[in-house]
Structure 1
Amino acid sequence: MLGFLDVTQQRWSSHRGGRRPKLTADQAALLQELYGTRDKTVQQIADLFGVPRETVYRPRAVDAVIGPT
Structure 2
Amino acid sequence: MSSSSSGAPLPIRWAMILVIAMAVGTLVGILTYLETGTWPATLLAAFGAAGAAVPTLHKILGP
TM-score scaled by length of structure 1 = 0.33
* Greater C-alpha radius of gyration: 1
Structure that is richer in helix per residue: 2
